[in-house]
A and B are shown apart, each in its own frame.
Chain A
């Protein structure tokens, strides 16, 4: 009994500080956003404490006033963001999966260096790195000069300010997020299982499908989730590489808080993103539980 109590005391001591931290700095702001989403915008930013359901009405269909009108464009922007974030996950997975295999089979010294290289971009400001991509992708940029120099095209190809540029940029930004969980799963892969699979007559494809893929699935799911969530809310990449023309939900939210001075509508949009992420995380835990 007393041992039980002491254990509980220990636990409280250990978890108390982080719990308090989360309550104040994570749930606190979240709660503020939730409340704001149901208020009226203040004239110069901020909120007026008057209840309003029209912020959601604008997105979902019932608002029809001078300032708050339903427009399907908001859902369309949300769907586009889902698509772009999904494609970002897919392309970074296709790059990182073989790369993680390759690096995990290197000799230890080289391996540490390769992992260091993957995380190297974190040492330079994101904005600087994205402007470097502008220089590469623009019509008179390196990529087009190389293509034209090689005689592959006579006029510059449109790379900059397209969906392609945004997906490329986000893939570039989120590769370390995808790589590290994948690498963790792939490094632990038991080579004996693969050899056994071959010994028992499985083809390369069957071995991959039945042995390698299931064993590395936690890394794939983890990397995908941790890439998808920030990609969905990203607004810097579409603003710099998409020329603010490839509008994503993050840009729309930023616009509400800054130039448009409509915090409640921005909060409502953010709640929509949050709901989508929550559904995704629930689905993931369900899936993980069903597996075990």
Chain B
């Protein structure tokens, strides 16, 4: 290095912000680790639009921030029921993505939001199911919720998600009620089911996969994303969609009404319609994409995994959460009862 380089460096530092301000920007607000960084790099490389990414931990956290007046975000990734809420609160911008030429790639069964039946606002992004991750040596080959709770009865340890809808949802499935039940008697019966079967439940937690791998816990209520860990420890752990039924989730890509860069956001939605881009995301995220041609491009071991891409019959047996409005309070009260039942 010559003695001139510090000067050259400071010149670059001075000029860089000027260059950036002339450049277009896009600001994403997404769940943590929920998009392949390579997708964002590819977008920047092609369009020159600089992408920034912030993350949130729950739909409610995101909604609270947006409602509290957080501006500057262009795109959010709400679950379907939160997509409906954002629409009803007037927080979404119309994109007409459903009319984009590439939208023919999207499997129509994934246009799920009731308030957006023609995809005038948001683009279906990714989906998955919530099932059981288990330690093969401790749990054996389990098939469903009955086996899962039987482990607890047999003195082994199991964990449930610290999520009121998901956990009461198991009780609803096992008592034959829909997971969006609003009948207080059904919700109470579901909570009773969970309480009666909570013998081996050591914790309500999201941090369970490492404990299943180490053998501290025999099985855990967890997301399809467990397949990432299964692929690293194929002899130790496994993941199943319970045979009695399970819940599924789906997130959509939405542009906010308050977005400062609506054009860049629109460009991103159209970019994400491309099969090779959706497939690039799946290769790292190991989740489901609603983009049909993309499913042909993803790595074979992911496409062949029946817990990630189940048969149509299984897909139809999965239930998705809807917004319950005031009736969420029924679950709130029962959830407190479950957590204090020991």
| Complex contact A262–B329 (CB within 8 A) | yes
**Which of these, A76, A245, A256, contacts B203 with CB under 8 Å?**
A245
Given A141-B216, A244-B162, A260-B329: 7 more A-B contacts, CB < 8 Å: A44-B63, A45-B67, A67-B326, A68-B329, A71-B337, A161-B202, A255-B332
Indicate whether A259 sits within 8 Å of B205 (C-beta atoms), given known contacts A43-B326, A245-B339, A247-B339.
no
Does B159 count as interface, using CB distance less than 8 angstroms?
yes
User: In the complex, what residue of chain A is closest to B203 when comparing beta carbons?
Assistant: A243
Cα separation A243 to B207 with both chains bound (whole Å): 9
Residues of B within 8 Å of A244, CB to CB, are 162, 203-205, 339
Q: How large is the interface on B (under 10, 10 to 19, 20 to 34, 35 or more residues)?
A: 35 or more
* A side interface size, CB within 8 A: 37
Cα separation A262 to B329 with both chains bound (whole Å): 8
**Which of these, B85, B203, B326, B332, contacts A161 with CB under 8 Å?**
B203
User: Chain B interface mostly helix, strand, loop or mixed?
Assistant: helix
Q: Provide 24 A-B residue pairs closer than 8 Å at the C-beta atoms, listed in order of the A residue.
A: A41-B329, A68-B329, A69-B333, A74-B336, A76-B340, A77-B336, A138-B214, A138-B216, A139-B215, A160-B202, A160-B216, A161-B203, A239-B162, A240-B207, A243-B159, A244-B162, A244-B339, A245-B202, A245-B203, A255-B336, A258-B60, A259-B58, A259-B164, A260-B164
Query: Which residues 244-268 of A have a CB within 8 angstroms of B?
Result: 244-245, 247, 252, 255-256, 258-262
Does A140 count as interface, using CB distance less than 8 angstroms?
yes
Residues of B within 8 Å of A6, CB to CB, are none
Residues of A within 8 Å of B331, CB to CB, are 260
Does A289 count as interface, using CB distance less than 8 angstroms?
no
Does B101 count as interface, using CB distance less than 8 angstroms?
no
**Which of these, B88, B216, B333, contacts A71 with CB under 8 Å?**
B333
Residues of B within 8 Å of A139, CB to CB, are 157, 215-216
Does B184 count as interface, using CB distance less than 8 angstroms?
yes
- Which residues of B are at the interface with A, using a C-beta cutoff of 8 A? 58, 60-61, 63-64, 67, 85, 88-89, 157, 159, 162-164, 184, 201-205, 207, 211, 214-216, 325-326, 328-333, 335-337, 339-340, 342
| Complex contact B64–A45 (CB within 8 A) | yes
Indicate whether A73 sits within 8 Å of B216 (C-beta atoms), given known contacts A245-B203, A261-B328.
no
Residues of B within 8 Å of A247, CB to CB, are 336, 339-340
User: In the complex, what residue of chain A is closest to B182 when comparing beta carbons?
Assistant: A66
Cα separation A138 to B144 with both chains bound (whole Å): 26
| Complex contact A243–B202 (CB within 8 A) | yes
CB distance from A168 to the nearest CB of B (A): 16
Cα separation A44 to B163 with both chains bound (whole Å): 17
| Complex contact B332–A260 (CB within 8 A) | yes
Cα separation A130 to B256 with both chains bound (whole Å): 37
| Complex contact A255–B337 (CB within 8 A) | no
Cα separation A262 to B333 with both chains bound (whole Å): 11
Cα separation A261 to B333 with both chains bound (whole Å): 12
**Which of these, A67, A140, A242, A258, contacts B216 with CB under 8 Å?**
A140
Cα separation A44 to B203 with both chains bound (whole Å): 28
Residues of A within 8 Å of B204, CB to CB, are 243-245
| Complex contact B60–A259 (CB within 8 A) | yes
| Complex contact A77–B60 (CB within 8 A) | no
Residues of B within 8 Å of A161, CB to CB, are 202-203
